[in-house]
Structures are given as C-alpha cells and as structure tokens.
Amino acid sequence: MNFIVQTSYLLAAVLFILGLKAMSSPKTARRGIVWAGVGMVLATLVTFVHPAVHGVTNYTLIIIAIAVSGVLAWWSGRRVAMTGMPQMVALYNGMGGGAAAAIAAVEMLRALRTLPEDLQTQAQALAESAGLSLAAAEAALLAEGAEPASIATALGGDVAILGILGALIGTVAFSGSLVAWAKLDGRMQRNRLVPGQQFVNVAVFALAVLFGVMTYFTDSLAVVVAFFAFGLLFGVFMAVPIGGADMPVVISLFNALTGLAVGFEGYVLGNPAMIIAGTVVGAAGTLLTQLMAKAMNRSLANVLFSGFGAAPQSSAEGPEGEMKDVSPEDAGYMLAYAERVVIVPGYGMAVAQAQHKIWELVELLQDKGVEVKFAIHPVAGRMPGHMNVLLAEAGVPYDMIFDMEDINEEFATTDVAVVIGANDVVNPAAEEEPDSPIYGMPILKVKDAENVLVIKRGRGAGFSGVENKLFFADNTRMVFGDGQKVAAGMVQAVKNL
C-alpha cells in the first residue's frame, strides 16, 4: 500500500509541474489548471489509504474538512467578479500559508506531549534514589548520554529546523496575505500602525527569529505560542505599510513564501508531493517576484520598505500644459478613420467592467479594416496576468495581445493609442525625469503614437501618486467618464458612420 501512496504522490507532483508549466501561457493556462486540479484530487484521495491515517475520527475529520472547504471554494469561486480576483488570490494564498503553519503547530504540540521528563526531573529522582547530590545526579545522567528534553530531541534536528522555518514563513504569509486582501478589497486604508513602523518591523522580526531559535531548544508551550504570535504579528506589520502600487509584487512574494512553507512542512510529514509542489511554487513565485520588481525598476527591499504609493507624492510643480478633452463620439470617429490602433488596458478598465464594450468596439473597427492590437505591461492590474484574463473573458483572441517588449517599437507607427484605466505604466516621467519616484521603470511607449486617447474617470494621479505627463501632451486627448459608458459612446459613433 505504501508503494501505491508514494507513487501516487510522485504522479501528483508531476501533474503539478506540468500544470504550472502550462499556466505560463494564456493559450494553455486552462489546461494547466485542469492538470494541477487532477493532481490535487489524486493527492487528496490517496491520503485515505495512507498507512499513517487510521481511525474513524481521522477519516471523519478529513471528510468534513474536504466537504466544508470544497463547498466554500465552489460558492466563492462562482460569485467572485474578475475585478475581485486579486483579493481572492490573496485570501487563498493566505490559507495555504496558514495551513503550512498549522501543520508545524500540530507537529510541535505532538512533540511536546511525547517529551520525556526533563533532565532536572530525572536528576531529582536519581538523587533521591541513589543518595547523590542534585549536581552529581545531573552529571551522571549527562555522562550516560541523556539530553535536555526539547522539540529538537523529539522531532530530530533536521525536521525541527525545517518545521520551525516553515512555521515562520507560513505565519508571515498567512497574516500578510490577509492584510493584502483587506487593502485590495478597500477594507483597510491605513499604511501605518505605530510610530516608527519600519523600526518596529525590524524589532518584531528579530523577536520572531529569537523565539524560533528558542523553540528548537525548548520544552515550553509558552515559547512556542510566543513564536507563532510574533510570526503572525510580523506578517501584519510587514504588509500594512506597502502601497497599492506594489501590491502585485507583494502578492507574488507571499505566494512564493507559501510555496516554501508547504515544501518545508512536506519534509516534516515525509510527503514527497508537498515537498515537490511547494518547492516548485516557491521557486516560480520567487522568479516572478524578481521579474515584476525588475519591471518596476525597483529592488525587493525597496518594494517592502519604501511604502511606495502609500501616499500621494508631493510635487511643487505639475506637468506643463493642460489636459484637452474630447467627447466619446469624436474619439470613436478618430478610431474609425485610423489604420493602426493599439489599446492599453489597466485596472481601471476592470473596475468599470468595460472589457466587453472595448471588444465590441474592436470588432467594429476590424470590420472597417482597422488593425487593432492590445499592449500589456508586466505589472498591469493588481496581480500577474490580470489583464490577460480580463481580455480573455471578453473573447479577445490571444494573438491580439502583446507583451511590452514585443510591441513597444510599434507605437511609433501607430495612428491612435487608446489608454483605458492605466496610468503609471504609460507615464513618460519614468524615462525623462531622473527625480521622479518612478524614474527607470520600463513603460509602454504610448507617447510615441501619432494620437493618444486616454479614457479616465477624473484628473487624479495613478497608484504611485505621480502626475502623468502623457495626459498633458499635445498629441493626447482625454475622454473623461466611466470606462464602460465611454466605450459604449465610441461604439455608437462607429456604428453611425
């Protein structure tokens, strides 16, 4: 039976890897999700015949957990809007980190229950029975190879170390992801909990590490509880100061942490599927975090500790010029008479739920012979791939969607670039103003297009709080209003021609 279990775990791990590989492309992402799902079902079902699982109580608890979590996931998955996907990802990611931390907690509690009497108690008994002093009895026990009782002696040194590391990372990912969910969902607006937040963060992290080291050597439940408490507190303190502009990177980072925590706890349980899947997710999440930080020309430390985008950037002088607006009808006429159009979507399009109207507009333009493409910035939206999913939901073919490095050179030969709901990722200040907070961040070169239409609700700055020079450029026209209504106005204008 053990051979069947281990083989099934290995097969599940292979399915996880193949699924993750397929998720790297929008064309194969759906297939990847199915493969990974099949792997998870296999890993779950084979647990019922695992030699270590026995007793009616354990089987009952497993079935109840699967039923409750399955129903909740199915219910929430069907209800969530595409604009709410980043929040859901943050929430589910937190659950993964919490589960890994819970595994570590259970193993530590089990170890504490099975610890032999501590060395002092044994020495006391020996001193009374043999007529020795307490010091002589303790020395005799140590000479015979007795060790002070601790979690490390109960679990083994390697298991204890990885269990503690997994617990620390898992608790941080759990509480940090919950804060990210609250901020993305608009339930938390605060960017500081205490004065000198960053210094407090360092102190809390140091305490979490200190109690983690103490947990290795201890037989005290209080030390273990303090370790988990400081880990949870650090996750909260770490996520609170981070601004909205950095949330895609932070979500990716917490995803990587959750993967690593699951991998470590897989070693604790001796579960190869957890080890392989957790390691793959941790490695992929780490790589994605680095790529996204690079796409913003920021270091990970700067993302975590600068509070970028948490508050509007002060600026004594705004961009020169003034915004020039046009009506949706005039914007529609401009598009209808263009030869090449590039559309740049951002999170504002998702909020307005305008992707379906935009696709209707594109189909009308294509009927008139206009060549239309979509340009996606690496950090567009609030999580990696968010814009791709939104466009796919509206029916946009994948071959019309281009990454930044593949389309940037084409803006110079584009008649009209349409920016809907995007801001910082098209701001020329990132290339032209060394003093700008976003200087050095790669951008979509929308400014090079012959004409630019910007669909926007108001005149405010983006997530970074930096004024956008593009909006004041001579070749830019602002189309103010709700994205969906503006797109509908453009559609009607094109139909009337």
Name, in order, each residue with C-beta under 8 angstroms of 324's C-beta and a sequence gap of 6 or more: 476, 477, 478
From the candidates 330, 406, 424, 448, which is the catalytic residue?
424
Q: Say if CB 1 and CB 27 are below 8 A apart.
A: no
Measured between alpha carbons, how far is 319 from 472 in angstroms, rounded to an integer? 7
Residues paired with residue 416 on neighbouring β-strands, in sequence order: 341, 451
Locate all alpha helices (DSSP H) within 296-338, ordered by sequence. Answer: 300-305, 328-336
| 227: Cα separation from own chain's centroid | 24
What CA–CA distance (Å, rounded) separates 293 from 52? 43
Spatial separation of the C-alpha atoms in residues 198 and 319, rounded to whole Å: 32
**Residue 111: its H or E element:** helix 85-114
Please tell me the total number of residues recorded for the chain in this structure: 497
Cβ neighbour number for residue 132 with a 10 Å cutoff: 15
Instruction: Please report, for residues 47, 190, 415, the alpha-carbon distance to residue 64 in angstroms, rounded to integers and kept in the order given.
Output: 14, 37, 59
* 330 tagged catalytic: no
455 in Cβ contact with 421 (< 8 Å) = yes
Active site residue ranges? 424
